[in-house]
Chain A
Amino acid sequence: MDERQFGAEITEVPEEIRLRLSGDLNGRADEALASAYAQVAALGPRRVSLDFAHVGYINSTGIALVVRLLAQARRDGRAVRAIGLTEHYREIFRITRLSDFMEIVEGDAA
């Protein structure tokens, strides 16, 4: 199978915590993403940036995982933004209206 192992690495930058995601964002990323967000939440940042620059594939289950993370972050009073999405996935975030609830940053964010 050609699937790429999902990974989530936490980096702290001023004002936010960045989750550098890699691999395929699908149903199998469930635990890794939930666990990464739990670690982020414990650090209490005001904003979480999801860095998709190293994610090559996102399917509908992966979108559902982002929705779940976003819902949780909103409950926690935390902003979420997405960086490094390809044009195709930015389109998907627009169509699903995820972009109405999280900032979508084109290219690499500062």
Chain B
Amino acid sequence: MIKFNLNGKDVEVNLDPSSRLLDVLRNHFNLTGPKEGCGEGECGACAVLVDGCIIHSCCFPLANVNEKEVVTIEGFSTTKRYQTLAQSMLEEGGSQCGICTPGMMIAAESLLNQNPKPTDEEIRIGISGNLCRCTGYNMIVKAIQLAAKKGDGLW
């Protein structure tokens, strides 16, 4: 039995501990915000937070979340920090097709958790594990800058 906190709720699952966390989230908990883009930890579309830090759930065995806090985009989207980031993404045009966006939001949250006032370069490094084929990243970088400014004190 694996016990963890998922989006603020304590949960228990009796599944193969070597299952990919991504599959457990999508299939068992019906949380389809995390996406599978590459299945090998390159693209970051499957990103979720484990104890506040970004991980690629496609390469993360279920066993590793035992007794930990897992937050997916579904959980993150109930927070004030999310609202600030979402609004900044809207204003700067940081989302196009949207498939990378939930992972990108998680990457931004993870970055701002560690570094509430990142420089342009630090943002680029912070989201470099998340691939986006639509935007060329600049509008996402600007959105994170804007969120850091507008959300002063939130992170």
Partners in one complex: no
B-binding residues in A (CB < 8 A): none
Chain B contacts to A: CB under 8 angstroms: none
